[in-house]
Amino acid sequence: MFYRLFFLTLISFCFTTVRATPSPSFKSHVLVQNSPKAAYYEQQLHLIGFEGAGIIEVYSIIGNKIKEIKTQELKNFKTYLRLESGNMYILRVTISGKIHTLKIIAS
């Protein structure tokens, strides 16, 4: 008898409907974060989401520095860069004292 009462109570809790309404402090707009991105294809390095002057450092996955590029403008940056296909590389982009670290795989 106890088990029947227990299961009926459990089933009634499982099928209880709950209506959720947003609180007044809830903002109806969605925030989108534009994070910087990097891509490497056709022997070119492409950077998106950066602006201003900066330094781009390319490292192998084991930490060897392969290339350092100083540029006056990083907006829609692209440059020729010969990397070994199939390997992963770490990019360190420094802009105004801020450091961004990105990973790429050469294809």
For residue 38, count other CB atoms closer than 10 A to its CB: 20
Task: Tell me whether residue 90 is in a domain.
Answer: yes
Task: Tell me whether residue 11 is in a domain.
Answer: no
Total-model pTM: 0.67
Q: What pLDDT does 20 receive?
A: 52
Task: Tell me whether residue 64 is in a domain.
Answer: yes
Task: Tell me whether residue 51 is in a domain.
Answer: yes
Residue 10 phi/psi, 5° resolution? -60, -45
Gap between the Cα atoms of 74 and 54, Å rounded: 7
For residue 35, count other CB atoms closer than 10 A to its CB: 9
Q: What pLDDT does 107 receive?
A: 84
- Residue 99 sits in a domain whose CATH number is 2.60.40.10
Q: Which residues of the chain have pLDDT under 70?
A: 1-34
Q: What total of structural domains would you count in the chain?
A: 1
